[in-house]
Amino acid sequence: IHAEFQSQVREFLEIHGYDDLLLLTPAGRVVYSFRKGEDFGADLLAEPWQETPLAQVARAASALGPGVPSIADFAPYGPRGGDWALFIGASIHGAGSVGEGGAFVLRLTPKHNGGHLVRSDQQRKTAASMILGDGYRILGRPPWIEEAAPDDPIEQKIRNLARESGDGGGVLRDRDGNEVLVAWETVTFEGIQWVVSSQAALDEIRAEGTGERLVVLVTASLIWLSLGVLTLGGQETYVLGRHRI
């Protein structure tokens, strides 16, 4: 049974880009894990597991109805050597009884999201893209995730503008005073907000001449995140979704 189920889960994880799928009993025991890591067989009600993001998602899922997701944002996950991970869980109920069934949990790593950001980073030498979360940022290159950069004026400006007025874009200045074209879009899922941003030095864009067209496409997914930035050469017009800069 396991051999057949394992192959089906492998295909599911490869298609959707999740790192692991875990099945939990009503008592909080991990009875299946595709990766068979340290959390396989763990009792989530006992130390050192009960305060992990996995346990938090499992507890939330057990209290919710079928099909209602619970989520723990990216955070260091001790049992995986402190690697950052995001968990999404949902309950599995028998006979429609909330709280009496088990749960399944999906784990997502920053590497998956960062991999989707790479395509925009490859467009120009000064291009960069990232997903800004609560105290961290996911990059389009290794190490994929870092603590937030409080000394980066562009990142802090994006966070503030996104919080105050939502999606937008414009020309900002980096710590060296250089002009940088930046566009961002807010993404909210189950009460957790991220800001997806893309940027490139304005001098590099202008130097390409009025006849060249620049397209920067940012796609990131835990969950189906996408951001497009379109620059039309010679017109100084920049479009992000419905926003015209």
Greater pLDDT, 29 or 239: 29
Grade residue 82 by pLDDT with cuts at 50, 70 and 90.
confident
Question: pLDDT tens-digit profile of 62-73?
Answer: 887 777 889 999
How far is C-alpha 236 from the geometric centre of its chain's CA atoms? 31
Band the pLDDT of 229: cuts 50, 70, 90.
Answer: very low
Cβ atoms of 19 and 13 within 8 Å: the answer is yes
Burial class from Cβ neighbours inside 10 Å (0-12, 13-18, 19+) for residue 27 reads exposed
Q: Does residue 200 come out as left (phi exceeding 0), alpha (psi in the -120 to 50 range) or beta?
A: beta
